[in-house]
Structure 1
């Protein structure tokens, strides 16, 4: 190899290294920008995804998952989209009270994970334990994903054994999905939840050296259509009383710390409508209180930034639609509880 060839090789290596380093710097810069705009309720589970899949301002490693109600929606029923559903058929029909009594031996084990529902005609369903009369069909659903992660095959086998026991005691026929397929469904659903369990958070901050008056905040919140809840948060709810977003003192610091406006994406109904209502409210509060609308790092959120967030939310809502799940629905509230 001549000196000229060797020199060209060295120059080429330097150029390639330089391009690689530049790309890495650009990637880190874009990553930081996205993290300022979105916060994951599941920690940093989204950090390996492209910016369009990320949500929520700030440093996710310092933000634990939000505390959510453990109460199931009144209309929640076993659902094959998120449950391993075992069906029992009774001939003649069995009293719902008898089925409840047979299930009690297993109830403590599955109190938070399983739903049972009875039907006299296979069309209209009532959840146990409130079901009355006779049941022609019983469906038992084990939720495939919880905060602890996806169910595994051993858990499914145990659940199926409990239903086999109930079927034997009541003389029912039994039908259930293939377990390996259910395990794969659970893993895919868990991955979806990790990507979709996100919050959008804005802050309304007072001018330096000042703070917000509590009475002024209450008046501005009510003027924007929000109502004070028992936990001292202000919320906006839809016509079905589902929470769209909430307003609270930032980090519990009071007037000097500013306000935080939070939209829990999986649990907020209305898709983009909830976000637009949140953005309107945030702008109105900032104008009324004389504050600034910012992200976790104090960067101003202007119209361009809000439009970019809305576009990223569209991708998240599309992922929900692909699974046939509506944010804020009974199924979503169970899955993200």
Structure 2
């Protein structure tokens, strides 16, 4: 091998190494951008090591979304996946109104976490107080976990005692899961929720020296298909009126007001569909308003960063699937409320 050939070989190796290093740098940059976008109420248990989902310093923890999205789904029924379900069977079916009357003393205490449903045939169930006619069976479910935390054993014991009283007053037999098992289920479910309670947040900021006009923002949001809610957020909803993502003003101390677009992952239906719709909307708004699409640290979000975020969302959605819970479903809306 001549000196010229050896020199060309060395130069080629250096060029290849440089291209590899550049590509690795770009991948790491996109991953860091994805990390900044995610907001989680707990650490990184879903996504493994190295950390992929975390709270940025100064970023508030995930909170229940205000407004109508936080209301209990009308179709919700007691569900053993997330409830401590006590079953009552009646020898002489009482009217549903009578059961409601017997439960009334407990209504205030358990209003947010308890669901009661009765059935005339043991197959078709209706929520109290909407149920009518006689009840052959009653199911009472105490929600084990919400964004406020998990129930403890004392709460479960009190709930069971209240239903024992109802059963005695109505002549019903009663069946319930073992208490220790319910406590363990609550703890495991709470740990899952802490890891899975994630928000994806983009920001649309005006160019230096400019500000967004409020009327222009409203017009651009409506053009993108968003509707103004009572709490002053713009939202996009699916055909079942479930919130996919929201848009709100972002105030920054000492800086111009921008916009924040938020995807509440556990409550958003459609999996990737909600994220794709959010990304399209964010790009459209940035273009219409002549703004920049950035993360919490002001770094511009490009297609590589968005792809990295989507890959991490796939891992979160896989964790939900493993639990048999679909984001945006009636069960998920209760669990993350």
Report the TM-score, using the length of structure 1 for normalisation: 0.85
1:46 aligned to 2:46? no
Aligned to 1:170: 170
| Aligned residue number for residue 333 of structure 1 | 333
Residue aligned with 2:270, SS? coil
1:82 maps onto 2:82 in alignment: yes
Cα separation, partners in 2 of 1:179 and 1:68, compared to 1, 3 Å: farther
Rounded to whole Å, the distance in 1 between the matches of 2:208 and 2:188 is: 47
Give the aligned partner of residue 213 of structure 1: 213
TM-superposed deviation, 1:248: 1.1
Counterpart position of 1:36: 36
CA distance in structure 1 between the aligned counterparts of 2:305 and 2:30, rounded to whole angstroms: 14
- Kept in 2: contact 1:53–1:195 (CA 8 A): no
- Check conservation: 1:31, 1:51, Cα contact below 8 A: no
CA positional deviation for 1:51: 6.1
Aligned runs of 1:1-337 on 2, under 5 Å? 35-40=35-40, 42=41, 45-46=42-43, 50=48, 54-55=52-53, 58-59=56-57, 61-63=59-61, 65-69=63-67, 70-251=70-251, 256-337=256-337
> RCO higher in 1 or 2 (8 Å CA, sep ≥ 6)?
2
Using the alignment, how far apart are the partners of 1:78 and 1:167 within structure 2?
18
Q: Compute the displacement of 1:298 (Å).
A: 0.2
Distance (whole Å) between structure 2 residues aligned to residue 252 and residue 61 of structure 1:
13
Distance 1:141 1:52 in 2: 39
How far off its partner does 1:92 sit? 2.0
Q: How far did residue 148 of structure 1 move?
A: 3.5
Distance 1:95 1:52, change over 3 A: farther
8 A Cα contact 1:35 1:59, kept in partner: no
Q: Could you say if the C-alpha distance between residues 188 and 35 of structure 1 is closer, same or farther in structure 2, counting changes exceeding 3 Å?
A: same
Rounded Cα–Cα distance in structure 2 between residues aligned with 1:148 and 1:282: 31
CA contact (8 A) 1:39 1:59 kept: no
Q: What is the CA distance between 1:66 and its match in structure 2? A: 3.9
Equivalent pairs, count: 306
> Any conservation in 2 of the 1:56–1:200 contact (CA below 8 Å)?
no
Distance 1:136 1:154 in 2: 29
3-state SS of 1:80 partner: coil
TM-score between the two structures when normalised by the length of structure 2: 0.85
Q: 1:300 to 1:67 in 2, by over 3 A?
A: same
1:50 shift after superposition = 3.2
Q: Is the 8 A contact 2:235 2:245 kept in 1?
A: yes
Cα deviation, residue 223, structure 1: 1.6
